[in-house]
Structure 1
């Protein structure tokens, strides 16, 4: 894979972004194929289930997904509203950046 990326830099300097996109797509297809081939049967999946933790329906893994989704949402909301106070009040060339 590294040699293929290096080939794109040397041989295709004008369309390297497209070449890099092909590498990412090939990598995604490889992992999707791996995931599908390693998928467990329903019987094996049921053996890994745990007792319900929340509302007599969700186990700890489901609760983890819900809490992480809330955490990601609020992280992005903080980033979205971080500079709201300087949106209309300050000219862009006076905003300090580092």
Structure 2
């Protein structure tokens, strides 16, 4: 199943599809593009409270309702000298 929401899954436009997704059983779910997914929720990628809230509302909800292991794909900065192993944004992106 491939889903590419254009808005938060809690908006009127996407809510039905998200609820339907949560009624199925999956082994694996991949969210590709954490920063984009955060912005769909109105969350700031550097705000640790926003990031923690998003983790509860999206990845953990998917895992809890579908049984899927949820993999989050995030991106590091392009500068190889300064990026380290961490993603762009708040520390909670890595910790959560």
Task: Normalising by structure 1, report the TM-score.
Answer: 0.25
- Kindly name which structure, 1 or 2, has the bigger radius of gyration based on alpha carbons: 1
Whose RCO is larger (CA < 8 A, sep 6+)? 2
Structure number with higher helix proportion: 1
Q: TM-score, normalised by structure 2?
A: 0.25
